[in-house]
Amino acid sequence: MKYQLPPPLGHAVPISKEHAISVHFPAWADVAGYGAGNLEVAKALQNGYPRTFLHTYVQEVYIYTPIAPEPYLIPILIIAVFPDYDSAADCRSFLMDKTLNLDGAVDEKDTVLFAVNISKGPSQSEADFSCIPQLYAVTHPRSAEAQKMTFWRLNGRGISSRLAKQCLRGSKFKLTPITGSLQESSSIKDLPLYETLRKRVADLMSRAPINTKKDTLPTPDDVYLSASGMAALYHVNQSLLKWRSSDIVMLGFPYELSIKMIETIGLPYHLYSFGLDKDIDNLEALLIERAKEGRKIQSVWCECPNNPVLRTPDMRRVRDLADKYDFLFVIDDTIGSAANIDVTDVADIIVTSLTKNFSGYADVLGGCVTLNPNFRYHQELSTIFAGTHVNNLYAEDAIQLEVNSRNYLERFTQQNRTAAYLIDFLHPYIADPSSALTTIYSPRVCWSREYYCRFMRPATDEFEPGFGSVFGVDFENPKQASAFFDNFPVCKGPSFGADITIALPYVQLVMQKQKDWAKGHGLNETLIRISIGLEDPEVLLEHIKGALRAADAVKMQGSSNGICKDHDLH
Ligand SMILES: Cc1ncc(COP(=O)(O)O)c(C=O)c1O
């Protein structure tokens, strides 16, 4: 793919895509400023990640959805719209929850749940109109906007930009208040398209297994689709609350919203953030202690490898512990991706953000949960998950995911290779005292490489597995890191796994206000995550060289100040 110059600050990434899910921050200062809540940067944003930034079409739906009739007509109320009843009801409960909103929960009388009915618009075909699910809205005071956005981010089930666009083609929006709980909520129509996607995921999970002696492999019926990866994680959390109400363990620092979601609406959790062998020793000590008390934990969650430091814990040892001490093992395989790794040998539950490499074009969100038939709780979990599942992946988003994922293996072959090529170029610089580069984060060069490799699928004619399309680079200090970032001429913003290269100083954006906390868990503020796209590897190499030269120049200036190179355990 031809390299494209990035757009100006705040413009959509990928460039000029109507449903792009990322946004460009050209400079380190823009990212840090946005992370710190700088209004100037926020005002410049025309687009953003859909779980943090309301797409223009979604905002328009909010404006056009009339505020409800008397007695609900309160001008200070604004609205959140969801594609299913459960999400809207959860949102309302979240806003009213006094323990979750210590600074002020919304009063019951100030938040109302409505069914939203839209009439067919003059230019809308019957087929398009019929795919709009029954929508539900929650009204809330303006003062609760931040809480609403927290829910939107953590839950990942707000209406998508494609669904919003289709709604705007409708003619009339009518709101009907819902009092009490809805007995029967209608959900999205079950189109053959969803079966195609479920089958594609199940086939990916089953192709080139690492253990050919396994009796059973996931089928399409084991796959539950969701509106986003976060919605899939939320589905797991909600379902497991019903399965066993006891401790959750997170092994290795996960995607930060996974922690926040568990922290906010889950059970007590233990975070063993480095995922080291000694963390698993600590897990084992906890299990022994609980066993003595006659108790069991609920689950251990990990990512393979974890975002953004890309370590893999000893998952086989965790499986052995799960069998011995009776708990569930939940693995998020988003970054390693089912093409590269096969975790069906150890996980009870596999969660994937389909938004990333599966989709591959950064223009749609999606997620799924796969229940693994290899383990003893499969049947029990299937009953619970089926009972808690609502398919909230809108049909047009499903179409986009289906079309995008057709060439998944082909794309990923190239991305695996280019990322490896760049990592191999950069790696020697870590040992070079004159280079500003201190660390490369990648399963390819990590202490936990062996733990990752145990789960790599065998190579086949159609696909050669690798270490993924994401890696990270780190520097001695923010000046060097920002020099690298500012001189790296690629798109810069949230998300990964796209056809275009996207870089992000992860902690600066995501944990700007918790940098010390992040550091304590092994995430430096100087870490830059890079997701490799389909551009010419030689062009990317030249860009990387230029960025590294800029960081080295800053180091040269600073070397007289006696700053010395500090290596992290990565
Ligand atoms: C490892 C991992 N899992 C899940 C998610 C959430 O997925 P989504 O953004 O599709 O909601 C992310 C998001 O970046 C992630 O990095």
pLDDT tens column, 206-250: 999 999 888 789 999 999 999 999 999 999 999 999 999 999 999
DSSP of 204-231, one letter per residue?
Answer: HHHSS-S-TT-S----GGGEEEESSHHH
Average pLDDT over residues 169-196: 80
Q: Which residue has the tokens 């096969």?
A: 342
Closest CA to 256 of 555, 568, 515, 564: 515
pLDDT at residue 75, as a whole number: 46
All residues at 6 or more sequence positions from 435 whose CB lies less than 8 Å from its CB, including other chains: 429, 548, 552, 555
Tokens 């979990």 found at: 381
Ligand 1 interacting residues, C-beta cut-off 6 A = 51, 156, 228-230, 255, 303, 307, 332, 334-335, 353, 355, 365, 367
Q: Identify whether the C-beta of residue 368 lies closer than 8 Å to the C-beta of residue 401.
A: no
| Mean per-residue pLDDT, 13-36 | 96
Q: For residue 74, what pLDDT band results from cuts at 50, 70 and 90?
A: very low
Q: Is residue 340 pLDDT above 90, yes or no?
A: yes
- Give the mean pLDDT of 506-514: 95
Rounded distance from Cα 454 to ligand 1 centre (Å): 23
CA 346 → CA 310, 330, 341, 374, 401, distances in Å?
19, 9, 12, 9, 27
Nearest alpha carbon, ligand 1 atom 14: 495
- pLDDT range class, residue 444, cuts 50, 70, 90: very high
Mean pLDDT of the 489-493 span: 98
Please give the distance, rounded to the nearest whole angstrom, from the Cα atom of residue 258 to the centre of ligand 1: 8
- Atom 8, ligand 1: which residue's CA is nearest? 229
Q: Which of 334, 393, 441, 511 has most ligand 1 atoms within 8 Å of CB, for mutation?
A: 334
Statement: residue 361 has pLDDT above 60: yes
* 3-class DSSP string for 324-338: HHCCEEEEECCCCHH
Distance from Cα 418 to the centre of ligand 1, integer Å: 23
Q: Would you state the pLDDT for residue 167?
A: 93
Residue nearest to atom 9 of ligand 1 (CA): 229
Domain 407-559 CATH (choose: 3.40.50.300, 3.20.20.60, 1.10.390.10, 3.90.1150.10)? 3.90.1150.10
3-class DSSP assignment, residue 365: coil
- How many Å apart are CA 220 and CA 366, to the nearest integer? 16
In whole angstroms, what is the distance from residue 540 CA to residue 530 CA?
A: 11
Instruction: Report the nearest-CA residue for atom 16 of ligand 1.
Output: 255
What spacing in Å lies between the alpha carbon of 350 and ligand 1's midpoint? 13
Which has more confidence, 180 or 241?
Answer: 241
List the domain boundaries for the chain. 56-177, 192-405, 407-559
For ligand 1, the distance from its centroid to the CA atom of residue 292, given in whole angstroms, is 36
Instruction: Supply the pLDDT for residue 171.
Output: 84
Tell me what the mean pLDDT of segment 367-374 comes to. 97
**pLDDT tier, 84 (very low <50, low <70, confident <90, very high otherwise):** very high
**Which amino acid residue places its CA nearest to atom 15 of ligand 1?**
255
Alpha helices in 405-536 (DSSP H): 408-426, 449-453, 478-486, 506-510, 515-520
pLDDT value at residue 63? 73
Task: For residue 355, give the ligand 1 atom closest to its CA.
Answer: 10
pLDDT at 91: 96
For ligand 1, the distance from its centroid to the CA atom of residue 229, given in whole angstroms, is 5
Contact 139, 76 (CB under 8 A): no
For the residues 479-488, what does the mean pLDDT come to? 98
pLDDT, residue 73, reads 47
177: tokens are 């208040």
Rounded to the nearest angstrom, the distance between the alpha carbon of 495 and the centre of ligand 1 is 8
In the prediction, which pLDDT does 174 show? 85
Q: Which of 157, 302, 355, 394 to mutate to test the pocket of ligand 1 (most atoms within 8 A of CB)?
A: 355
Q: For 128-141, what is the mean pLDDT? A: 92
Atom of ligand 1 nearest to the CA of 254: 1
Tell me the residue type at 399.
I
Residue type, 122: P
Q: What is the model's pLDDT at position 232?
A: 98
**CB atoms closer than 10 angstroms to residue 487:** 15
Residue 202 has pLDDT above 60, yes or no: yes
Q: What is the mean pLDDT of residues 375-384?
A: 98
Interval between CA 213 and ligand 1 midpoint (Å): 32
pLDDT of amino acid 564? 54
**Looking at residue 69, what is its pLDDT?**
53
pLDDT of residue 1: 87
Distance 230 CA to ligand 1 centre (A): 6
Structure tokens at 195: 């079966």
What mean pLDDT value characterizes the chain? 93
**169-201 burial code (b ≥16 CB/10 A, e <16):** bbeebebeebeeebeebebbeeeebbebbbebb
- Candidate of 356, 363, 368 to mutate for ligand 1, largest count of ligand atoms within 8 Å of Cβ: 356
Q: What DSSP assignment string belongs to 515-537?
A: HHHHHHTT--TT-EEEE--SS-H
Distance 170 CA to ligand 1 centre (A): 31
Q: What are phi and psi of 196, to 5 degrees?
A: -60, -45
Atom of ligand 1 nearest to the CA of 356: 10
pTM: 0.96
Q: How many other CB atoms are there within 10 angstroms of residue 506's CB atom?
A: 24
Counting atoms of ligand 1 from 1, which one is nearest the CA of 365?
10
Give the ligand 1 atom nearest the CA of 495.
14
Domain 192-405 identical in fold to domain 407-559: no
Average pLDDT over residues 480-484: 98
Query: Residue 353 C-alpha to ligand 1 middle, in angstroms?
Result: 5
Ligand 1 centroid to 295 CA: how many Å? Answer: 31
Whether 351 shows a pLDDT value over 70: the answer reads: yes
CA dihedral 334, 336, 341, 346 (to 10 degrees): -60
Closest atom of ligand 1 to 233 CA is: 4
SS (H, E, C) 330-364: EEECCCCHHHHECCCCCCCEEEEECCCCCCCCCCC
Q: Which residue has the tokens 């180091």?
A: 555
- Shortest CA distance to 422 belongs to which of 287, 528, 568, 285? 528
* CATH class for the region spanning 192-405: alpha beta
